[in-house]
Chain A
Amino acid sequence: MRTPLALAAGLAAAAALVALPHFLGRSGVYLLSYWVVFVVATMGLNLTVGYAGQKSLGHAAFFGIGAYTVAILMKAGLSFWLGLPLAALLCFASGIVVGFPALRVQAIYLAFATLGFNTAAWLFMRNEEWLTGGTFGIKDIARPSLFGVSFDGHRAYYYLCLAVAAILAALLYGLLRSPWGKAFTALRDNPIRAESLGVDVRGYTLLAFAIGAAYAGVAGALFAPLLEFIDPAPFSVGASIMMYLMVVVGGPGYFFGPMLGAAVGVVLPEWLRFAQDWYLFVFGAAVVLLMIWLPDGLLSIPGRLRARREARAASAARAAAAARLDGGGR
């Protein structure tokens, strides 16, 4: 009953994502593409944070490494299609390095360590002008074409982003269903027990960082040609916190959490434009309230409702049993 329903919902959502650009103007399609790019990035962060439980606050640095890798290589005359896998690879390797502190420290200390990494990466992007263009950034990043098909148009580029996102989502789905998915979850729920059961906690911790970072790298590689211009601003510590919030708001450890969380993170600020200078305040307050009421994110709502229903049914059954006992006693 549930699987056909889920399948139908999935197909409907996919159809909507394909059809939607034709009902939107240029800015609408741009926003949609922006969302898809952040879905890719936060899918990776959801693996690191939501599934494997590693509190990483440096994700935007990987996002930036991916974006700059593609931008710099393309400026050097190399193909986007070479830059994309290289961005993923470079981020995978950086992810392993950044994962090492996680073998020693956890939770808030790990958050600080990754934050430090983000700050260092951001300073590098800003100061190493010879490579990154510093605060002037890198301009006129071309959109790629493949086998004579150009992805230059805003709709065409959206479909490219969507296709990459779909492939990465399928890969992640497969990974999470494989034994690795269980090992990541075990690591998050209880690393000491996991190790006593033969789970290589060190290896999986590093992999959780590396794979998550690779996703951010691909997202960054898509991001640079989307904007056609990059500077260090979108890769700051603030951006990492924003990505973390997207994961947490959507539902960490839920497969579709990043889709929802990124939508909230990308679209809500647009809607809150009316609030102007107050928008960050309103957004921040909304996140705080959400965290108080729904610490496991929006996608935990169905499970909560089910649990409440079951609890109510159980207490009704208890009450009925008690009533029967009372009746029998008299």
Chain B
Amino acid sequence: MSAPLLEVTDLRKSYGAIRAVAGVSFEVRPGEIFGVIGPNGSGKTTMFNSVLGQIAPDAGAIRLKGADITGLSPLALNRRGVGRTFQTLQVFGRMSVRDNLLVAAQEHRGSMFSRMFAAPDSGLGARADALIDLFRIGHVADKPAGSLSYGQQKLVDIAMAFMSEPDLVLLDEPCAGVNPSLVGEIAALLRELNRSRGGSFVVIEHNMDFVMGLCHRVMVMVEGEVLAIGTPDAIRADRRVLDAYLGN
């Protein structure tokens, strides 16, 4: 079996008495779509933000392609090929959709100084157009992102995470608040991106059909701990999961 792309070992984060993440370990393999499910407040987002340098974990080790990345800033992680989306919509409202995509990758081009003199699209125009086509947002590409519908903004938000062609993308609830037909569309998009670009994804999602249909393996978190990790079929059949999570 190939070496893991992402290795998280015994990650911990508490807020006062609340043990939001209480010793989580897992690994994500190259090319894998790894799902994370769990009831509200089970620590999924806290785990994400600890991995991504958004918050400092109390303990634990995180390795990317074998290198220790524990405690690196979100900026440093992004430069190392890690993309992400947030649980809430995070687009640049007053910029056009196209500019949202361009700014999502331009900092990977050249030095800060050279970017002052670079072309407005940093030579990323074709890449942005390809994602705009794939996500079918061409008709709104020149509109300010903040003026789009929620579902459209969600698509822009997801597309932005892929602009810099990252090796690993972490998506926090890509389907939250979107209508059922769009859920299917997002699943198809992620499958296509995974197939054509071969990156690994970690996807937090409450929508069971989405997770079970899309992910190669799924991790179940309950109260900050890992309850089970396995294939969708194994997770569906796991009594503990049914009791602890799917049951209620």
Interface, chain A (partner B; CB < 8 A): 175, 177-183, 185-186, 189-190, 192-201, 203, 253, 307
Contact = CB atoms under 8 A, between A and B. Distances in A.
Contacts of A201: 75
B61 interface: no
Given A186-B103, A195-B75, A197-B104, A253 B94 contact: yes
Nearest to A177: B120
Nearest to A203: B112
A190 B92 contact: yes
Interface stretch (B78-86, B178-186, B221-229): B78-86
Contact of B103 (A177, A183, A192, A200): A183
Given A193-B86, A193-B92, A198 B75 contact: yes
Contacts of B99: 182, 185
B17 interface: no
A223 to B, nearest CB: 27
Nearest to B114: A179
A158 B71 CA distance: 55
B122 interface: yes
B118 interface: yes
Contacts of A178: 115-118, 120
Interface in B39-54: 52, 54
Given A182-B102, A182-B103, A198-B75, A189 B94 contact: yes
Interface string B126-160: 00000000000000000000010000000000001
B219 to A, nearest CB: 22
Contacts of B108: 198
27 contacts: A178-B118, A178-B120, A179-B109, A179-B115, A179-B118, A181-B120, A182-B95, A182-B99, A182-B106, A183-B107, A183-B115, A185-B92, A186-B95, A186-B103, A192-B54, A192-B74, A193-B86, A193-B91, A196-B52, A196-B54, A197-B163, A198-B107, A198-B164, A199-B75, A200-B112, A203-B112, A307-B147
Contacts of A253: 94
B73 interface: yes
A179 B108 CA distance: 11
A161 to B, nearest CB: 26
A189 B93 CA distance: 7
Contacts of A192: 54, 74, 86, 90
A199 B115 contact: no
Contacts of A182: 95, 99, 102-103, 106
Contacts of A189: 92-95
B197 to A, nearest CB: 17
Contacts of B90: 190, 192-193
A46 to B, nearest CB: 14
B180 to A, nearest CB: 23
Contacts of A307: 147
A195 B73 contact: yes
Nearest to B75: A195
Contacts of A181: 120
